[in-house]
Amino acid sequence: MAVSGVIQNLIKAFSEFGHGVDEKSLISHLGKWNEDDKKSFWKVTPSFKPDQRSFARFDADFLKLLHKEFLRFQGAVVMRTMHPWERDARLIKKALKKPGSSDSLSVLVEIACTRSSEELLGARRAYHSLFDLSIEEDVAYLVHGSERKLLVALVSAYRYEGSKVKEDTAKSEAKSLANAVKNADKKSPLENDEVIWILTTRSKAHLKLVYEQYKVLSGKSLDEDLSADLRLREAVQCLCAPQKYFTKVLDAALKKNADNKAKKALTRVIVTQADTGIKPIREEFQHQYGVALSKKIEDTASGNYKDFLLALVGKEN
């Protein structure tokens, strides 16, 4: 069967998407097709199946996925236009609907550790207004196990934002963390009160110095040594090297076979970091993977969603 150019383009749009749909192209081609094009499309497109009552039926699972892809751009626009306090409050509430999910708890750590003290306080205020509860009590009620103490302390934090640090104290605390890691077989660092106290109360400037001192002392980075404790590792990265954390999240999200959770992370990271942290993320992505973040988005995403992400990421130079 001969397939017209219009049908070829439509088949490609419906079968090769993964990070958004090329809405402009679809509108253009769907506006031109005739009855022969429709019949041809239904017959040759893998997403349509013959029904016993003699009509071409959309594959149910594919239809659900397609619906999500159309909504991806809309969701990004809504997230971008929302007040940052409300946006973070709603992200946390959504994450707490599935507190047993590792990805959901990662969102809590990300927001608690990469926002400024005022931004995190604003998210807590918005949470009060939206849900008549505090983030702290929801985390304490819904998260169980050894991670709860760390997460409650992280979302409750109001850190000093200044640049003053004490080098002797940082060295001492780096030694304390090294000892906690060394004795992890006897007691998990996640259950070590001093580890939690250091990570949840100290300023980010101070923690970056602790991070540096730890590497001098141990020869490895703290997040590498905490590989067995995912939540602690994420907290350290988000507090001390957020561009490193975000780059890994984006790399996972921009893979061709990324699952839906990873794709959502792509929207979340780029939208929330567009105004404050996108430049160091771009630089780290280029350094880690040898390709520009904008090029990776260009190659992976589609349509208006792609264009919107590229606008938020900005120029690479």
pLDDT in the model for residue 303: 82
Global pTM value: 0.85
The pLDDT score that the predictor gives to residue 53 is: 80
Is it the case that residue 179 has pLDDT exceeding 90? Answer: yes
pLDDT value at position 130? Answer: 94
The one-character DSSP state at 191 is G
Tokens found for residue 83: 């007040």
Segment 52-65 shows an average pLDDT of 77
Mean pLDDT, the chain, rounded, equals: 88
Query: Is residue 156 predicted with pLDDT exceeding 90?
Result: yes
Task: Name the residue with higher pLDDT: 263 or 108.
Answer: 108
pLDDT over 80 at 112, yes or no: yes
Q: Average pLDDT in the 123-147 region?
A: 94
Mean pLDDT of 109-132: 96
pLDDT of res. 93: 96
Q: Is a pLDDT exceeding 90 seen at residue 202?
A: yes
Please state the φ and ψ torsions of residue 202, each to the nearest 5 degrees: -75, 150
Which pLDDT score is estimated for 231? 94
The per-residue pLDDT for 270 is 95
Most confident of 10-14, 116-120, 296-300: 116-120
pLDDT at 28 over 60: yes
Residue 99 predicted with pLDDT over 70 = no
Distance of CA 225 to the CA centre of its chain: 23
Q: Which spans in 132-257 are helix H?
A: 135-142, 147-156, 167-182, 193-201, 204-218, 222-225, 230-240, 242-253
CA distance 200 to 153: 6
CA distance 201 to 293: 33
Mean pLDDT comparison of 11-15, 39-43, 93-97, highest-scoring range: 93-97
Burial status of residue 34 (CB atoms within 10 A of its CB: 0-12, 13-18, 19 or more): exposed
Task: Enter the tokens of residue 61.
Answer: 């699972």
Residue ranges of domains in the chain, CATH in brackets: 5-78 (no CATH), 84-158 (1.10.220.10), 164-240 (1.10.220.10), 244-313 (1.10.220.10)
Q: What's the pLDDT at 22?
A: 72
Answer whether 290's CB lies under 8 Å from 284's CB: no
Residue 12 has a pLDDT of: 66
- Measured N-to-C along each axis, helices 23-30 and 5-15 cross at an angle, to the nearest 10 degrees, of 140
pLDDT at 165: 95
Q: For 222-272, how does the pLDDT look when each residue is reduced to its tens digit (9 = 90+)?
A: 999 998 899 999 999 999 999 999 999 999 999 988 887 888 899 999 999
The pLDDT, as a whole number, for residue 317 is 52
- pLDDT-based confidence at 315, cuts 50/70/90? low
Question: In whole angstroms, what is the distance from residue 284 CA to residue 210 CA?
Answer: 21
Name the residue type at position 23: E
- For residue 211, pLDDT over 70 is answered with yes
Q: Tell me the mean pLDDT in the region 135-160.
A: 95
Q: What is the mean pLDDT of residues 196-205?
A: 97
CA distance 146 to 197: 14
The whole-angstrom separation of Cα 153 and Cα 196 is 8
The residue type at 302:
S
Mean pLDDT value of segment 106-126: 96
Nearest alpha-carbon partner for 118 in 143, 88, 80: 88
So what's the pLDDT on residue 248? 96
What is the rounded average pLDDT of the residues 115-132? 95
Confidence (pLDDT) at 59: 77
Q: DSSP string spanning 73-128?
A: HHHHHHHHHS-HHHHHHHHHHHHHTSTT-HHHHHHHHHHHHHS-HHHHHHHHHHHH
Query: Nearest CA to 222 among 205, 241, 203, 246?
Result: 241
